Protein backbone atom coordinates (compact mmCIF):
# COMPACT_ATOMS: atom_id res chain seq x y z
CA UNK A 1 0.00 0.00 0.00
CA UNK A 2 1.20 3.51 -0.84
CA UNK A 3 1.11 6.26 1.77
CA UNK A 4 1.10 9.92 0.81
CA UNK A 5 1.85 12.81 3.14
CA UNK A 6 1.15 12.43 6.82
CA UNK A 7 -0.39 9.26 8.26
CA UNK A 8 -3.81 8.92 9.90
CA UNK A 9 -4.12 7.22 13.32
CA UNK A 10 -5.47 4.01 11.70
CA UNK A 11 -2.70 3.97 9.05
CA UNK A 12 -0.14 4.31 11.87
CA UNK A 13 -1.48 1.36 13.84
CA UNK A 14 -2.01 -0.71 10.63
CA UNK A 15 1.62 -0.18 9.59
CA UNK A 16 2.92 -1.10 13.04
CA UNK A 17 0.77 -4.23 13.07
CA UNK A 18 1.92 -5.13 9.54
CA UNK A 19 5.55 -4.76 10.58
CA UNK A 20 4.94 -6.69 13.80
CA UNK A 21 6.55 -3.72 15.53
CA UNK A 22 5.84 -2.82 19.14
CA UNK A 23 6.90 0.82 19.71
CA UNK A 24 10.19 0.85 21.60
CA UNK A 25 10.36 2.93 24.77
CA UNK A 26 14.18 3.06 24.65
CA UNK A 27 13.91 4.95 21.33
CA UNK A 28 11.06 7.19 22.49
CA UNK A 29 8.75 5.82 19.78
CA UNK A 30 5.61 7.90 20.25
CA UNK A 31 4.33 8.52 16.74
CA UNK A 32 2.45 11.67 15.80
CA UNK A 33 -1.15 10.90 14.82
CA UNK A 34 -2.68 14.38 14.93
CA UNK A 35 -2.98 16.17 11.58
CA UNK A 36 -3.21 19.62 13.20
CA UNK A 37 0.05 19.15 15.09
CA UNK A 38 1.83 17.87 11.98
CA UNK A 39 0.56 20.97 10.13
CA UNK A 40 1.57 23.22 13.03
CA UNK A 41 5.10 21.72 13.11
CA UNK A 42 5.59 22.72 9.47
CA UNK A 43 3.87 26.09 9.89
CA UNK A 44 6.10 27.11 12.83
CA UNK A 45 9.20 26.45 10.72
CA UNK A 46 7.55 28.34 7.81
CA UNK A 47 8.19 25.41 5.48
CA UNK A 48 7.95 26.37 1.81
CA UNK A 49 8.58 24.59 -1.49
CA UNK A 50 12.32 24.14 -2.09
CA UNK A 51 13.31 24.32 1.60
CA UNK A 52 16.04 21.99 2.80
CA UNK A 53 14.92 20.30 6.01
CA UNK A 54 16.69 18.03 8.48
CA UNK A 55 14.49 15.61 10.42
CA UNK A 56 15.57 13.56 13.44
CA UNK A 57 13.82 10.24 14.02
CA UNK A 58 11.37 10.03 11.08
CA UNK A 59 9.74 6.89 12.56
CA UNK A 60 7.03 5.86 10.08
CA UNK A 61 7.51 9.06 8.11
CA UNK A 62 4.47 11.11 9.04
CA UNK A 63 6.36 14.43 9.27
CA UNK A 64 8.65 13.29 6.44
CA UNK A 65 5.64 12.68 4.20
CA UNK A 66 4.10 16.04 5.06
CA UNK A 67 7.43 17.80 4.42
CA UNK A 68 7.89 16.04 1.08
CA UNK A 69 4.31 16.89 0.10
CA UNK A 70 5.03 20.55 0.94
CA UNK A 71 7.91 20.45 -1.56
CA UNK A 72 10.80 20.32 0.92
CA UNK A 73 13.99 18.34 0.36
CA UNK A 74 14.37 16.21 3.49
CA UNK A 75 17.43 14.68 5.15
CA UNK A 76 16.38 12.29 7.91
CA UNK A 77 18.24 10.02 10.34
CA UNK A 78 16.51 7.02 11.93
CA UNK A 79 18.24 4.67 14.38
CA UNK A 80 15.74 1.78 14.24
CA UNK A 81 16.68 -0.55 11.36
CA UNK A 82 13.19 -1.98 11.02
CA UNK A 83 11.62 1.50 10.70
CA UNK A 84 14.45 2.60 8.41
CA UNK A 85 13.71 -0.35 6.09
CA UNK A 86 10.01 0.57 6.07
CA UNK A 87 10.85 4.22 5.29
CA UNK A 88 13.23 3.21 2.50
CA UNK A 89 10.40 1.33 0.82
CA UNK A 90 7.84 4.02 1.55
CA UNK A 91 9.93 6.80 -0.02
CA UNK A 92 11.59 4.66 -2.72
CA UNK A 93 11.96 6.75 -5.88
CA UNK A 94 11.30 10.04 -4.07
CA UNK A 95 14.47 11.99 -4.74
CA UNK A 96 13.49 14.66 -2.22
CA UNK A 97 13.76 12.24 0.71
CA UNK A 98 17.26 11.22 1.85
CA UNK A 99 17.37 8.68 4.66
CA UNK A 100 20.22 7.34 6.74
CA UNK A 101 20.19 4.55 9.33
CA UNK A 102 22.33 5.97 12.14
CA UNK A 103 22.34 7.49 15.61
CA UNK A 104 21.46 11.21 15.48
CA UNK A 105 24.11 11.81 18.14
CA UNK A 106 26.72 10.70 15.56
CA UNK A 107 24.96 12.35 12.60
CA UNK A 108 23.18 15.35 14.16
CA UNK A 109 22.40 16.87 10.75
CA UNK A 110 21.23 13.58 9.22
CA UNK A 111 23.84 13.51 6.46
CA UNK A 112 23.06 16.98 5.14
CA UNK A 113 25.86 17.77 2.65
CA UNK A 114 28.40 20.29 3.99
CA UNK A 115 27.92 22.50 0.95
CA UNK A 116 24.12 22.62 1.13
CA UNK A 117 22.26 25.93 1.21
CA UNK A 118 20.63 27.28 4.37
CA UNK A 119 18.34 24.74 6.05
CA UNK A 120 15.68 24.19 8.71
CA UNK A 121 15.01 21.44 11.26
CA UNK A 122 11.61 19.90 11.94
CA UNK A 123 11.56 17.03 14.41
CA UNK A 124 9.45 15.10 16.87
CA UNK A 125 12.54 14.28 18.88
CA UNK A 126 13.24 11.12 20.83
CA UNK A 127 13.08 12.85 24.22
CA UNK A 128 16.07 11.02 25.74
CA UNK A 129 18.49 12.62 23.26
CA UNK A 130 17.03 16.10 22.79
CA UNK A 131 19.62 17.94 24.93
CA UNK A 132 22.78 16.06 23.79
CA UNK A 133 21.58 16.26 20.18
CA UNK A 134 20.99 20.04 20.39
CA UNK A 135 24.40 20.41 22.05
CA UNK A 136 25.94 18.88 18.93
CA UNK A 137 23.94 21.11 16.56
CA UNK A 138 24.54 24.47 18.19
CA UNK A 139 28.29 24.89 17.72
CA UNK A 140 28.04 24.02 14.01
CA UNK A 141 26.07 25.38 11.04
CA UNK A 142 22.98 26.94 12.54
CA UNK A 143 19.63 26.13 10.95
CA UNK A 144 17.55 29.14 9.96
CA UNK A 145 14.46 27.85 11.76
CA UNK A 146 13.62 24.92 14.00
CA UNK A 147 10.34 23.43 15.09
CA UNK A 148 11.07 20.90 17.83
CA UNK A 149 8.70 18.57 19.65
CA UNK A 150 10.10 18.17 23.15
CA UNK A 151 9.28 16.86 26.57
CA UNK A 152 7.73 19.79 28.45
CA UNK A 153 10.61 20.04 30.95
CA UNK A 154 13.19 20.25 28.14
CA UNK A 155 11.15 22.90 26.29
CA UNK A 156 10.97 25.01 29.46
CA UNK A 157 14.71 24.57 30.06
CA UNK A 158 15.55 25.52 26.47
CA UNK A 159 13.32 28.62 26.66
CA UNK A 160 14.34 29.64 30.21
CA UNK A 161 15.56 33.15 31.08
CA UNK A 162 18.24 33.93 33.67
CA UNK A 163 16.82 33.99 37.17
CA UNK A 164 14.51 31.02 36.66
CA UNK A 165 15.22 27.60 38.19
CA UNK A 166 15.32 26.00 34.71
CA UNK A 167 18.03 28.35 33.39
CA UNK A 168 20.97 26.24 32.22
CA UNK A 169 23.86 26.35 29.72
CA UNK A 170 21.60 25.21 26.87
CA UNK A 171 19.25 28.17 27.59
CA UNK A 172 22.21 30.53 27.14
CA UNK A 173 23.54 28.83 23.99
CA UNK A 174 20.07 28.82 22.41
CA UNK A 175 19.05 32.35 23.33
CA UNK A 176 22.35 33.75 21.99
CA UNK A 177 21.61 32.26 18.58
CA UNK A 178 17.81 32.12 18.37
CA UNK A 179 14.67 34.09 19.01
CA UNK A 180 12.69 31.64 21.10
CA UNK A 181 8.93 31.77 20.59
CA UNK A 182 6.56 30.64 23.36
CA UNK A 183 6.27 26.83 23.38
CA UNK A 184 2.97 25.33 22.21
CA UNK A 185 1.38 22.68 24.50
CA UNK A 186 0.68 19.33 22.81
CA UNK A 187 -1.73 16.80 24.29
CA UNK A 188 -0.62 13.19 24.87
CA UNK A 189 -3.57 12.13 22.68
CA UNK A 190 -1.69 13.49 19.62
CA UNK A 191 0.70 10.52 19.81
CA UNK A 192 0.49 6.73 19.51
CA UNK A 193 1.21 5.29 21.98
CA UNK A 194 0.42 8.13 24.40
CA UNK A 195 3.60 9.32 26.14
CA UNK A 196 3.62 9.30 29.96
CA UNK A 197 5.09 12.83 29.94
CA UNK A 198 3.80 16.20 28.71
CA UNK A 199 5.00 17.53 25.35
CA UNK A 200 5.56 20.95 23.82
CA UNK A 201 6.37 22.23 20.37
CA UNK A 202 9.10 24.86 20.46
CA UNK A 203 9.63 27.24 17.52
CA UNK A 204 13.05 28.86 17.10
CA UNK A 205 14.16 31.45 14.60
CA UNK A 206 17.84 32.26 14.02
CA UNK A 207 18.89 35.78 15.02
CA UNK A 208 20.52 38.10 12.50
CA UNK A 209 23.49 38.39 14.85
CA UNK A 210 23.44 34.74 16.01
CA UNK A 211 26.34 34.02 18.34
CA UNK A 212 27.92 30.68 19.29
CA UNK A 213 30.21 29.96 22.23
CA UNK A 214 33.55 28.18 21.95
CA UNK A 215 33.84 24.53 22.92
CA UNK A 216 35.95 25.55 25.95
CA UNK A 217 33.40 28.11 27.15
CA UNK A 218 30.67 25.52 26.86
CA UNK A 219 32.68 23.04 28.95
CA UNK A 220 33.40 25.69 31.59
CA UNK A 221 29.75 26.71 31.77
CA UNK A 222 28.63 23.12 32.21
CA UNK A 223 31.15 22.71 35.04
CA UNK A 224 29.88 25.94 36.66
CA UNK A 225 26.20 24.94 36.38
CA UNK A 226 26.94 21.51 37.89
CA UNK A 227 27.46 23.50 41.11
CA UNK A 228 24.33 25.60 40.70
CA UNK A 229 23.65 25.91 44.42
CA UNK A 230 27.04 27.51 45.11
CA UNK A 231 28.11 31.14 44.77
CA UNK A 232 30.14 32.04 41.69
CA UNK A 233 33.19 33.21 43.69
CA UNK A 234 33.36 29.83 45.50
CA UNK A 235 32.86 27.93 42.24
CA UNK A 236 35.65 29.92 40.55
CA UNK A 237 38.14 29.22 43.34
CA UNK A 238 37.46 25.48 43.26
CA UNK A 239 37.11 24.87 39.52
CA UNK A 240 40.45 23.09 38.99
CA UNK A 241 41.76 23.63 35.44
CA UNK A 242 39.06 26.28 34.83
CA UNK A 243 39.80 28.31 37.98
CA UNK A 244 42.20 30.85 36.45
CA UNK A 245 39.85 31.57 33.53
CA UNK A 246 36.91 32.01 35.89
CA UNK A 247 38.89 34.27 38.24
CA UNK A 248 40.08 36.39 35.26
CA UNK A 249 36.46 36.58 34.11
CA UNK A 250 35.25 37.74 37.53
CA UNK A 251 37.91 40.48 37.47
CA UNK A 252 36.59 41.61 34.08
CA UNK A 253 32.96 41.90 35.27
CA UNK A 254 33.07 44.01 38.47
CA UNK A 255 29.29 44.60 38.29
CA UNK A 256 28.57 40.87 38.73
CA UNK A 257 27.83 40.26 42.44
CA UNK A 258 30.28 37.65 43.79
CA UNK A 259 27.51 35.83 45.62
CA UNK A 260 25.51 35.22 42.38
CA UNK A 261 24.40 31.66 41.69
CA UNK A 262 24.99 30.43 38.11
CA UNK A 263 21.29 30.53 37.17
CA UNK A 264 21.03 34.25 37.99
CA UNK A 265 23.95 35.28 35.74
CA UNK A 266 22.79 36.98 32.54
CA UNK A 267 23.83 36.29 28.95
CA UNK A 268 25.80 39.56 28.89
CA UNK A 269 28.14 38.22 31.56
CA UNK A 270 28.41 34.76 29.96
CA UNK A 271 29.46 36.51 26.73
CA UNK A 272 32.34 38.09 28.65
CA UNK A 273 33.37 34.63 29.85
CA UNK A 274 33.46 33.48 26.21
CA UNK A 275 35.84 36.35 25.33
CA UNK A 276 38.19 35.43 28.17
CA UNK A 277 37.99 31.65 27.59
CA UNK A 278 38.91 32.09 23.91
CA UNK A 279 42.20 33.90 24.74
Q: Which residues contact ligand SAM by CB under 6 A? A: 27-32, 56-59, 62-63, 77-80, 83, 103-105, 124, 126, 129
Running DSSP on this structure, what letter comes out for residue 61?
Answer: T
Residue 66 or 265 with smaller CB distance to ligand SAM: 66
Each as own residue / partner, the long-range contacts of residues 175-178 (CB below 8 Å, 24 or more positions apart, any chain) are 175/267, 176/207, 176/210, 176/211, 176/212, 176/213, 176/267, 176/271, 177/138, 177/142, 177/206, 177/207, 177/210, 177/211, 177/212, 178/146, 178/204, 178/205, 178/206, 178/207, 178/210
Decide whether 65 or 262 has the Cβ nearer to ligand SAM: 65
Cβ-proximal residue to ligand SAM, closest one: 57
| Contact of 226 with 169, CB cutoff 8 Å | no
Minimum distance from residue 41 beta carbon to ligand SAM (Å): 8
Cβ proximity to ligand SAM, 103 vs 153, nearer residue? 103
Q: How far is the CB of 276 from ligand SAM (least distance, A)?
A: 35
- For ligand SAM, which is the closer residue by CB, 148 or 159? 148
Q: Which is nearer to ligand SAM, 27 or 166 (CB)?
A: 27
Burial label for 117, CB within 10 Å (0-12, 13-18, 19+), is exposed
Are 174 and 204 in contact by the 8 Å Cβ rule? The answer is: yes
Of 83 and 256, CB closest to ligand SAM: 83
Q: Nearest-5° angle of CA 28, CA 29, CA 33? A: 130
To the nearest whole angstrom, how small is the minimum distance from the Cβ of residue 242 to ligand SAM? 30
CA atoms within 13 A on the CB side of 53: 34
Instruction: Please say which residue, 84 or 272, places its beta carbon nearer to ligand SAM.
Output: 84
Smallest gap from Cβ 206 to ligand SAM, in A, equals 23
CB of 266 to ligand SAM, least distance (A): 33
Q: How far is the CB of 194 from ligand SAM (least distance, A)?
A: 12
List phi, psi (to 5°) of 216: -65, -45
**CB of 27 vs ligand SAM, minimal distance in Å:** 4
| Smallest distance from ligand SAM to CB 129, Å | 5
- What residues contact residue 18 under an 8 Å CB cut-off, 6+ apart? none
Between CA 207 and CA 138 the distance in angstroms is 13
Closer of 143 and 262 to ligand SAM (Cβ): 143
Residue 255's contacts (CB-CB under 8 Å, 6 or more residues apart) are none
Amino acid sequence: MEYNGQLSPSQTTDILRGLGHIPLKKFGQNFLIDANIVRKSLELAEIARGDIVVEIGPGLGTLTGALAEAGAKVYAVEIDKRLFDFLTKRFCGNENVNLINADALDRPLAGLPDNSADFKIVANLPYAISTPWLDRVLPGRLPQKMSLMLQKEAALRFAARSGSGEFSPISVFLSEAYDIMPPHKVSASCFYPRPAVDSMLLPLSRKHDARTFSQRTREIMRAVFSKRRKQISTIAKNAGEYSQTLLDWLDSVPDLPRNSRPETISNRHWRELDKIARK
